[in-house]
Structure 1
Amino acid sequence: MRTVVVTGSASGIGKALRELLTTQGDRVIGVDLHDADVTVDLTTDDGRAAMVAQVGDLSGGTVDAVVANAGLALGIPATVAVNYFGALATLEGLRPLLAGSAAPRAAATCSMASLMQSDPELVEAMLAGDEPRALARAQAVADAGLATMIYSSTKAALARWLRRNAPTPAWAGAGIPLNAIAPGVVVTPMTADLLATEQQRTAMASVVPMPLNGYMGPEAPAELLAWLISPVNTHLCGQVVFIDGGSDVVIRGDATW
Structure 2
Amino acid sequence: MRTIVVTGAASGIGRTLAGILADRGDRVIGVDLHDADVTADLTTPEGRTALVERVREVSGGSIDAIVANAGLALAIPKTVSVNFFGAIATLEGLRPLLAGSAAPRASVTCSMASLYPPDQELLDDLLADDETAALARAEVLAADPKLSALIYGTTKQALAKWVRRRAATADWAGAGIPLNGIAPGIVLTPMTKDLTSTQEAVDALLQQVPMPLNGMMGPEVPARLHAWLVSEENSHLCGQIVFVDGGSDVVIRGDSTW
Q: 2:57 maps to what in 1?
A: 57
How far has the Cα of 1:200 moved from its partner? 1.0
Secondary structure at the aligned position of 2:242 is classed as strand
The total of aligned residue pairs comes to 257
Q: 1:208 maps to what in 2?
A: 209
> Per-residue CA shift, 1:182-231, capped at 9, x if unaligned?
00000000000111112211110100010100000000101000000011
Q: 2:176 maps to what in 1?
A: 175
> Per-residue CA shift, 1:148-186, capped at 9, x if unaligned?
100000000000000000000000000000000000000
Matched, 1:22 2:22: yes
Q: 1:40 maps to what in 2?
A: 40
User: For 1:142-153, what aligned pairs fall within 5 Å after superposition?
Assistant: 142-145=142-145, 146-153=147-154
Identical pairs, percent: 67
Q: 2:4 maps to what in 1?
A: 4
| Separation in 2, partners of 1:44, 1:197 | 35
> Per-residue CA shift, 1:13-51, capped at 9, x if unaligned?
000100000000000000001100001111011110100
| Separation in 1, partners of 2:40, 2:103 | 27
Q: 1:77 maps to what in 2?
A: 77
Matched, 1:228 2:225: no
Secondary structure at the aligned position of 1:106 is classed as strand
| Separation in 1, partners of 2:202, 2:217 | 13
Structure 2 gap segments, 5+ residues each: none
| Separation in 1, partners of 2:223, 2:113 | 18
User: For 1:86-165, what aligned pairs fall within 5 Å after superposition?
Assistant: 86-145=86-145, 146-165=147-166
Q: CA RMSD for the aligned pairs?
A: 0.7
| Separation in 2, partners of 1:169, 1:253 | 32
- One-letter identity of the residue aligned with 1:190: M
Which 10-residue stretch deviates more, 103-112 or 144-153? 144-153
- One-letter identity of the residue aligned with 2:140: A
| Separation in 2, partners of 1:3, 1:163 | 25
Secondary structure at the aligned position of 1:28 is classed as strand
| Separation in 2, partners of 1:235, 1:144 | 43
Secondary structure at the aligned position of 1:83 is classed as helix
How far has the Cα of 1:117 moved from its partner? 2.1
Q: 2:197 maps to what in 1?
A: 196
| Separation in 2, partners of 1:117, 1:207 | 13
Which 10-residue stretch deviates more, 184-193 or 196-205? 196-205
| Separation in 1, partners of 2:37, 2:127 | 30
- One-letter identity of the residue aligned with 2:205: M
Structure 1 gap segments, 5+ residues each: none
